[in-house]
Structure 1
Amino acid sequence: MIGCLLVHGFTGAPYEVEPLAEYIKEHTDWTVVAPILPGHGETLSLKSVSCTDWIDCAERELLTLLGKCEKVYVIGFSMGGLIAAYLAARHPISKLVFLSAAAKYVNPSQVKEDVLEMVHDFRRKQLHENELFLRYREKLIMTPPSAAREFQKVVRLARPSLKKIVVPVFIAQGTSDGIVPVASAEYIYSRVSSAERHLHYSAGAKHLICHTGNKKELFEKVFTFLSE
């Protein structure tokens, strides 16, 4: 039996990786798990949670899969990619996939472009139709500074783990990501110790890489990597 753990990002929920999870389910009989990290979900409640809570939650799911599966693959999106790296350095997983992993964050040039697009939509009275604005408006309101600091702790914990990763790795990064710059994927690629490592740039994809850009190509490449 093969298990697959997908870890969503900061202030997100399983919907961030759901399209890929559904693709894997449609093409395999694998056990696919995508937990909701503490304080996350459709309604955010991040004031009383820590980075340890997030890591422990993902680790519990991983240990459950390792206990019943011959092989376990881990896929991490954004902050989830860093949590995945931290776990991969400590547990016997078989393969690791990074999606828009936030080893570095905030792409100034793309942020500027996205803001200009929002301003344009505002002037045309179409801001209510701007998916990026709608997606992040609530996050900006509901994310306390303490949670942002906990996110930064995850980054600091995960970076040293990269050199300890030796399993096959697939790194995917959107070229139009306004949150995580392309340099983050390159940083991860240069730091992991894996003999087998792949770097894929998804043209036109924004931060939600499973929802934007050429999703079909991305899913096919991830699936091929995991299936080989």
Structure 2
Amino acid sequence: MPLMPGAEPYHHEAGEIGVLLCHGFTGTPQSLRPWGEYLAAHGLSVSLPRQPGHGTKWQEMNRTRWEDWYAELEKAYEDLRGRCAEVFVGGLSLGGCLALRLAEVHGPAIRGLIVVNPSIANDVPLLRFAPLLKWFVPSVAGVANDVKKPGVTELGYSRTPVKAAASLPGLWSLVQADLAKVRQPLLVFHSVEDHVVKPTSVAIIREKVPQATIEELTDSYHVATLDNDAHRIFAGSLDFIRTHASVPLQRD
């Protein structure tokens, strides 16, 4: 199925430190590409895969579940780990949730985590009815493009596929149950005004992952990686990697 222009995955091979980035639910690699390109420009190897069912048509996404998205991330992680001495993982929204799951599974093999407005809890009451609703309603209103900065558009679906969304509570429950396994350094960027993910997710992380550093973003909405605070995220994540990597960056 043809991709939306701009939804292509992004990969850059450089130094011994690799960064795996994961985009959000109904989004595409476009939302994280500037972040990936920034890190690549500073000597990091970057992998930004496109999740199954994303970047084409929302109807295709209804044939996928969270296990499919996680499997794609796992594949990209194993590839990056085979080429790099150390791997950091970052993600936006549900991509942050998948990044946390990867850390729970792989432990210290992942050097550190950077998540932006992570989604690990059910903020949408309607989702409680999704397992039933999916048999009657194929899609509901979309959640993409929550950006404050004028003239910036997130590439994502205008509709939310209900069958795909119905799989989310299972992932959230699993990630929450295993959060104590996240012992890596963790940097969380949290938009004070977010119209997609409520503060519940960050509150849970703050409680269950005591080493997490939480930084508030005051001039961005949910898709902060494309918003006014983007450079703060980019520079902050680079400093975080420099601090916690045990091998030097290839170049500055």
TM-score range, shorter chain: 0.7 to 0.9
Alpha-carbon separation, structure 1, partners of 2:151 and 2:41: 31
1:47 matched to 2:62: yes
Identity %: 27
Q: How far apart, CA to CA, are the structure 1 residues paired with 2:68 and 2:90?
A: 19
| Native 8 Å contact 1:85 1:161 kept in 2 | no
Unaligned runs of 5+ in 1: 109-128
> Gaps (5+ residues) in structure 2?
1-15, 126-149, 244-252
Instruction: Quote the residue 2:158 is aligned against.
Output: 139
Q: Determine helix, strand or coil for the equivalent of 2:226.
A: coil
Instruction: Report the secondary structure of 1:90's partner residue.
Output: helix
Question: Which of residues 17, 31, 36 in structure 2 aligns to 1:21?
Answer: 36
How many angstroms apart in 2 are the aligned matches of 1:27 and 1:40? Answer: 28
Given that 1:75 and 1:81 are in contact with CA atoms closer than 8 Å, whether structure 2 keeps it comes out as: yes
CA contact (8 A) 2:91 2:116 kept: yes
TM-score, length of structure 1 as denominator length? 0.80
Higher helix share: 1
RMSD of equivalent CA atoms:
2.3
In 2, the alpha carbon distance for the partners of 1:34 and 1:161 equals 25
Choose which of 37, 45, 49 in structure 2 pairs with 1:31: 45
Whether the 8 Å contact between 2:91 and 2:98 is mirrored in structure 1 is yes
Alignment length (residue pairs): 201
> Cα offset for 1:131?
6.4
* Counterparts of 2:41 and 2:57, CA distance in 1: 28
Instruction: Work out whether residues 50 and 150 of structure 1, in 8 Å CA contact, stay in contact via their aligned partners in 2.
Output: yes
Does the 8 Å CA contact 2:19/2:47 hold for their aligned counterparts? Answer: yes
Cα 1:223–1:105 change in 2 (3 A) is farther
Alignment of 1:67-106 (within 5 A): 67-91=82-106, 92-104=109-121, 106=123
Name 1:207's counterpart in structure 2: 222
Deviates more, 1:38-47 or 1:86-95: 38-47
- Counterpart of 2:19? 4
